[in-house]
Structure 1
């Protein structure tokens, strides 16, 4: 009984706000993948470490910034467009954005982030599939890993303390910032 209650408490509310956010994530993901198909190659990756680093810093500072009202819709649309275009560390960027919102539970924020990142990514995938640009053998391998990781993360995430979730997100963001700075700079 307590486990069922704990699982329910850690889930984001399936309300109008979530539906709107999913719509924005889909729109942004499709727009970002469309941009990828029309912009010259090699321009965007240079700013990726800056975006990831800024998102990580914002996520780390979010508890102290919570009183600041940030319009979520434009940020979500831009973050989802980034996800459709490049995708690396989209979770960190979305976590930073959502951490400024009214929900203070890191596990619910993480669950909402996963839903929105999935929506943006699926929209981008639909664009690429529609254009015949998917390498299916590699995609099947990555999909199997993503599904297994998502399932395992969902099973474990609700049982982990919020402070531990925050620490993992921050550590992951710092690691990705350093990795992409080394790779692109």
Structure 2
């Protein structure tokens, strides 16, 4: 790794960390940057997974309160499924020929870009569903009635959440969501772009309505998927550690900076920028691999 390559990777990691802290999509920066600096595609994917994992773990820690509300059985089932799928996906990646994976880069980036671009719409639909599911707060006129109404209003979400917990623990729904989570985790261990929105869709299908609890569970599961993939890649010797450690430092710095400026930046513009980067990277690799025939790495 030359000095210019190190500078490029560090700056890419800083930018990727900032994007992840504001709107997500840091993979669109880090993964191509590794390939641009000469890292083979499979090793670039493994190294990028290592670089992103600490940020995912930190995000999961921020959702401790939301995760505490989830039934332990649900976390154990989905967590176990995520670990199995993450290992399967990572092993599948390691068994994929380098040239074959390189040929898969454009469609994988396209899938991740589409999922990223569609995520605000899905999140809005989930919020609307959450609002529609809550009973209307009673109209009160007297002071006593208003106090009772406020008490009832405060209790309604908890009651709704409790009912939702009991519903989502039905065996049929657990089996269904575990199957989809296994598929998502396998994809996550293999490549991973867009797994967050896929998990939100699956949790919504299961009956979850609180978007904050969904984000907490999604982040925890993503941390498990990436974590077990990191261990698998490390044991297989697929990680370029100098690049990975450099990018971890850059991502942490970028994450803190992005969190500081997050309230001042319109996320719509950030998401548009990330989407355009995803489209540009997809087109670049499509032309470079399919038209120019540069698929040796």
**Normalization by structure 1: what TM-score?**
0.68
**Secondary structure of the residue that 2:102 maps to in structure 1?**
coil
**Which residue of 200, 207, 217 corresponds with 1:102?**
207
Match runs of 1:1-185 below 5 Å? 8-9=65-66, 12-13=69-70, 15-40=72-97, 41-52=101-112, 53=114, 57=118, 60-61=121-122, 63=125, 71-144=176-249, 174=275, 178-185=279-286
Matched positions, count:
173
Structure exhibiting the larger radius of gyration computed from Cα positions: 2
Is residue 82–residue 225 contact of structure 2 (8 Å, CA) maintained in 1? yes
Q: Report the CA distance shift for 1:60/1:51 in structure 2 as closer, same or farther (over 3 A).
A: same
Structure 2 CA distance for aligned equivalents of residues 108 and 140 of structure 1: 31
Instruction: Between the two structures, name the one with larger relative contact order (CA 8 Å, sep ≥ 6).
Output: 2
After TM superposition, which residue ranges in structure 1, 4 or more long, deviate above 6 angstroms? 148-154, 170-173
**Normalization by structure 2: what TM-score?**
0.46
Is residue 49–residue 176 contact of structure 1 (8 Å, CA) maintained in 2? no
Residue number in structure 1 paired with 2:60: none
Q: Report the CA distance shift for 1:118/1:148 in structure 2 as closer, same or farther (over 3 A).
A: farther
Per the TM alignment, residue 177 of structure 1 is displaced from its structure 2 partner at its CA by: 5.2
Is residue 48–residue 180 contact of structure 1 (8 Å, CA) maintained in 2? no
Residue number in structure 2 paired with 1:157: none
Q: What RMSD in Å do the two structures reach over aligned CA positions?
A: 4.1
Is residue 33–residue 84 contact of structure 1 (8 Å, CA) maintained in 2? yes
Per the TM alignment, residue 135 of structure 1 is displaced from its structure 2 partner at its CA by: 1.7
